[in-house]
Amino acid sequence: MVISECAYPRAGLIGNPSDGYFGKTIAFAFTNFRAKVLLYESPELEILPATRDHSRFGSVAELVSDVRLYGYYGGIRLLKAAVKRFAEYGDSVGAVLDGRNFTLRYESNIPHLVGLAGSSAIITAAMRAMMAFYGVRIPKPVLANLIRAVETEELGISAGLQDRVAQVYQGLVYMDFNREAMERRGYGSYEELDPSLLPPLYIAYRSALAQSSELVHNDLRERYRRGDPAVVEAMRFWADLTVQVRDSLLRRQAERLPALLNANFDRRVSLYDVGAGNLRMVQAAREVGVCAKFTGSGGAIVGLCPDDAVFERLKARLGELGVTVIRPAIAPPVGGE
């Protein structure tokens, strides 16, 4: 029997990057792209390489282009770390992982390193496949923590919980990472919101703007650790914006949202250089008449665009910059605890 599991990219609607700093965020998963993992029983445990793991190139220029797009590491390290962490979790809770071995293979068409959480999607899909294979149930808040630990503790990648919570729960999720809850039980308070509350959205991304989120988060984390007043206040500001967006959604006051989303990005620009390409993408979107902010750490933006004619103008304008614009299809919420 072949087990097939998927996980989807996420977009931070508001509040990011305060999730790593006891803040609040709202994010959603969407199905326009996906990471897929296949798992089947085999005599030995084997992890098969995918396109981004290849090491044969037609030329030096092709290797350079590949490294610029995917970095020096592909998905195999994510899967190896996920298997290790899953096995250790099983031991910690007394789950019996029988002696069966398996083969893992993966594929992903999530745009790479543009702030859509493609790496954690691969890990999430792998965790779901192993849970199905061994019959292990993991509560959703705990699973999100486990996925984050694969990156932060196994691979040394700076990462907040927002991406993993959105991918585990899917749909639209309000997240409160207040310090008391995080320190007492290790995870925040997560509220699933009705995705139908969202007005029509757009997401735009440009792979040429790809960069690792570690570059951004490491700097912010160090400044936060030092108590930099601008960074500390920004975290409170973003958390407050999140509460305002949640309230506006629940009251169906969509007209309040554009200014709040714009404010999220504008405060970010005041803290550090977001990159000329990213700034041009946001400015071009706003010139068309829509709001715009990062979905994550850069390379992709999200905003509201209820009018189809404006959406077509947005596609044309951003297309001039080599930017792809889509309408995100919200992933259905995952049932259960």
User: So which residues are the catalytic ones?
Assistant: 163
Measured CA distances, 312 to 20, 245, 249, 288, 315 (Å): 35, 26, 25, 10, 5
Write out the DSSP string of 161-224: SHHHHHHHH-SEEEEE--HHHHHHHSS-EEEEEPGGGSPPEEEEE-GGG---HHHHHHHHHHHH
> What's the CA gap between 128 and 144, in Å, rounded?
11
Contact 310, 288 (CB under 8 A): yes
E strand map for 72-131: 101-108
Contact 100, 122 (CB under 8 A): no
Dmax (CA) for the chain in angstroms is: 59
> What's the CA gap between 89 and 127, in Å, rounded?
11
Contact 152, 159 (CB under 8 A): yes
What single-letter amino acid sits at 91?
D
Write out the DSSP string of 223-257: HHHTT-HHHHHHHHHHHHHHHHHHHHHHTT-GGGH
Cβ-Cβ contacts under 8 Å for 53 (sequence gap 6 or more): 74, 75, 76
Contact 296, 12 (CB under 8 A): yes
